[in-house]
Amino acid sequence: MPDAPRTTAGRRPLISGNWKMNLNHFEATALLDKLRYLVSKDDLAAVEVSVHPPFTDVRTVQTFLESEKVDIALGAQNCHWEDSGAFTGEVSPGFLAKLNVRYVIVGHSERRELFGDTDEWVSAKLKAVLKHAMVPILCVGETLDEREAGSTGAKVTGQVRAGLDGVSAEQVGAMVIAYEPIWAIGTGRTATTEDAQSVCASIRATVADVAGADAAAGVRIQYGGSVKASNAAELMAQPDVDGALVGGASLDAESFAKIVQFPLGGA
């Protein structure tokens, strides 16, 4: 049995598949059925894995993972901050918790850029996820214009501070932050490993400033943006990169399995 890979700081890597608005519930089951044969129990002991299907698939995916005893965590892509009420088209975090959802993405750049999620909403959603004993994956990241203007640090730090506002140090230490440069999402362009490491390190420094050293040591920071089997191992080797939020490459069982198996060197 291979040694469980840990980051240098001992955090267990988290590889999350964000399916976005892809895969209906039949296709979701077909993908997971392939995936469970491709990844071994040892793989899933070493690296934590979550999948984030569209809402219409969540119940089906829950049933599949639980009845087949597949050790993959169930995730969601978004939620509302209220428990219930007159919010047509929205999804309650409490309903997700009832389906044994463990991880909820909040503030994905597509939500922020296309659907108007503000820092204030993201903060409210993050607290709602915590209230229901689920784990938020707080997404942050800069646009290409912001990167070229040299404002990556200011943008990302501002988003982290806004997202963590009012959250206890203990909760911060148990959550996940995903650094996703917007210009690298779905474009095939990946940040260099040096850039990914340097922004993830600055996020950890911001967490230390906001919530203290223990929280900074515990929080897991994922990199996202065109992660694939061929670049996963190198990204994961960075001391402040504790996992990956994977979009396109999570829609194919073989490519996602190879990312999960990054300790074996990818393909």
CB 140 within 8 A of CB 154: no
Which of the residues 48, 52, 108, 146 is marked catalytic? 108
**Cα angle value 219/225/230 (rounded, 5°):** 100
Give the E-state strand segments of 35-148 in sequence order.
48-52, 73-76, 103-106, 135-140
The correct pick among 46, 233, 245, 253 for binding ligand PGA (CB under 6 A) is 245
Cβ proximity to ligand PGA: between 173 and 243 the closer is 243
How far is the C-alpha of 176 from the C-alpha of 222, rounded, in Å? Answer: 7
Taking phi first (over 0 means left), then psi (-120 to 50 degrees means alpha), and beta for anything else, what does residue 265 get?
Answer: left
Cβ proximity to ligand PGA: between 17 and 93 the closer is 17
**106 touches ligand PGA by CB under 6 A:** no
**246 touches ligand PGA by CB under 6 A:** yes
Q: What mask, x for binding ligand PGA by CB under 6 A, covers residues 210 to 239?
A: --------------xxxx------------
Q: Is 108 a catalytic residue?
A: yes
The correct pick among 79, 247, 253, 256 for binding ligand PGA (CB under 6 A) is 247
Burial of 61-97, coded b for 16+ CB within 10 Å and e otherwise, reads bbebbeeeebebbbbbbbbbbeeeeeeeeebbbbbbb
Closest CA to 73 of 84, 63, 65, 64: 65
Q: Which residues contact 242 (CB under 8 A, 6 or more apart)?
A: 7, 11, 12, 13, 14, 220, 221, 222
In the numeric block, the tokens 């999350």 are attached to 16
Least Å from the CB of residue 180 to ligand PGA: 6
Closest CA to 199 of 184, 212, 180, 185: 180
Cβ proximity to ligand PGA: between 93 and 248 the closer is 248
Site for ligand PGA in 4-23 (CB under 6 A): 18
**243 touches ligand PGA by CB under 6 A:** no
Q: Which residues contact 150 (CB under 8 A, 6 or more apart)?
A: none
Cβ proximity to ligand PGA: between 21 and 133 the closer is 21
Least Å from the CB of residue 248 to ligand PGA: 3
**186 touches ligand PGA by CB under 6 A:** yes
**185 touches ligand PGA by CB under 6 A:** yes
**136 touches ligand PGA by CB under 6 A:** no
Cβ proximity to ligand PGA: between 190 and 261 the closer is 190
Could you tell me which residues are beta bridge partners of residue 179? Answer: 140, 223
Which of the residues 48, 142, 146, 180 is marked catalytic? 180
Please give the residue whose beta carbon sits closest to ligand PGA in the complex: 247
Q: Which residues bind ligand PGA (CB under 6 A)?
A: 18, 180, 185-186, 224-227, 245-249
Active site residues per annotation: 108, 180
